[in-house]
Amino acid sequence: MARLLRTVAMLAVVIGATLAWGDTGYLPPPTLQFSLALEKDTFEVGEPIVALVRLTNHGTGDYIVQTSTRPAGSFDGFAFAVEDERGQAVPPPHPRLPATHWLGSWTTIRPREQTERKFFLNHWFLPLHPGRYTVRAQYIPRTTSGHHTVEWPPVHAAPVSFTIVPVGQTKLAVRIERLAAQLEAGDPLAADFLGFTGETAAIAPLLRALHQHDETVPRHAANALNNILDRPAVIAAALDALRENGPNPVFVEWLHERRLPPAQLMPAYLDHLASPDVVTRRGALIGLRLERDAEHAAVIRAHALRALADPDASVRLEAVRLLAADPEARVTLQRVAEQDSHESVRALAATLVRESHPAGPPAELRP
């Protein structure tokens, strides 16, 4: 792990040396102290591990630090790595689905002043078994200069050790039941905490949350499923839920990231194209676009053409996107661009026609 962090640091030094140039020339690196502390030094299995990071400006000028509502901290330049008492790196969960709604800003740190942030370290590693662990953290200073983002070599915090202790099954079951109730009430943080447990008992409430109407909760639930330790159980339950409840945009995006064979997903997507629920129909079309292959090309085209007559414009938009890569659908897209009743559908179809023919549409697409 130490060797890996040194390699990352050396690479970042090279990158920083090449990127520390703004619109006005070379920008000297800020003088920052980066420190890490944990809320306590002993945690139960599956318990949220709260980390407090502090940046102190020891320079003579202001430093502007990027802050956002993204939970892991990587977007803002922070990174964490955990190793066990043998020095073995704890593997991270599968990469998170990107947030669609988040807030970002810049905070000024005056000379000799500091700023603090809190993160749940559990976003960075799979649930830990009982034992002794060490967490290492780094921060990559960055700023903006004109139209450029400038990065400097990373600063490192002193490593911090902590202990994971067993938790009783009764206490764990009560925790999962309480979090499942909070999740059902629409609390996205409850999804994160369910994932932190790593328990198979968390799979069912997380899969149910994938079908909540507010997309924030389903995205948290999808990312939390990546923390469950029994991955085959997660996939099996997810495929059952897909067949029974149907797809939605977040669900199909998460399934696509699992790199499952299209044959496992296509039948369910095709079966739910006629669902009375608009979100389910959209999800089915998105799923077909993500898993498109040559074997199903004709079937996909036929269903996409039918979806162009859907009464909901958001479904028709997905049908247009599905046909975008189909060379046999260009005439159809031109007709949609001219005749669809909704402006956004017409605009997307027209854009896709122009992009496929930058010099102008061929003769068969002209009025």
CA distance 156 to 20: 19
CA 288 to chain centre: 21
150 beta partners: 143
pLDDT of residue 293: 86
pLDDT of residue 357: 59
Q: Give the residue from 231, 167, 165, 179 showing the smallest Cα distance to 209.
A: 179
3 state DSSP class of 324: coil
CA distance 5 to 196: 25
pLDDT of residue 327: 83
Query: Would you say residue 204 lies in a domain?
Result: no
How confident is the prediction for the chain on average, in pLDDT? 88
Q: What is the CATH number of the domain that holds 45?
A: 2.60.40.2970
Number of domains in the chain: 1
pLDDT in tens, 240-259: 999 999 999 999 999 999 99
- What does the block give as tokens for 63? 């430093």
pLDDT of residue 150: 81
* Burial class of 358 by CB neighbour count within 10 A (0 to 12, 13 to 18, 19+): exposed
Query: Would you say residue 71 lies in a domain?
Result: yes
User: pTM of the prediction?
Assistant: 0.83
Start-to-end CA span in the chain (Å): 63
Query: Would you say residue 13 lies in a domain?
Result: yes
Which residues of the chain register pLDDT less than 70?
Answer: 1-26, 99-104, 145-146, 357-367
CA distance 56 to 135: 20
Query: Would you say residue 30 lies in a domain?
Result: yes
Q: Give the residue from 32, 262, 227, 43 showing the smallest Cα distance to 123.
A: 227
3 state DSSP class of 151: strand
Query: Would you say residue 294 lies in a domain?
Result: no
Phi, psi of 138 (to 5 degrees): -140, 160
pLDDT in tens, 134-144: 999 999 998 77
CB 35 within 8 A of CB 53: yes
pLDDT of residue 100: 66
pLDDT in tens, 68-114: 778 788 888 899 999 999 999 999 998 888 766 566 678 899 999 99
CB 256 within 8 A of CB 97: no
CA distance 118 to 108: 18
Alpha helical stretches, state H, 43-159: none
β-strand 131-139 against 155-156: which pairing, if any?
Answer: antiparallel
Angle between helical axes of 249-257 and 262-271 (0-180°, round to 10): 170
Angle between helical axes of 330-339 and 313-323 (0-180°, round to 10): 150
Query: Would you say residue 55 lies in a domain?
Result: yes
CA distance 79 to 151: 14
Other CB atoms within 10 Å distance of the CB of residue 178 = 12
Look up the domain containing 32 and give its range.
2-165
Secondary-structure percent of the chain, ordered helix, strand, coil, rounded to 5: 45, 20, 35
pLDDT of residue 25: 56
6-10: long-range pairs with CB below 8 Å, 24+: 8/138, 8/154, 9/138, 9/153, 9/154, 9/156
Query: Would you say residue 48 lies in a domain?
Result: yes
Query: Would you say residue 257 lies in a domain?
Result: no
Max intra-chain CA distance, the chain: 72
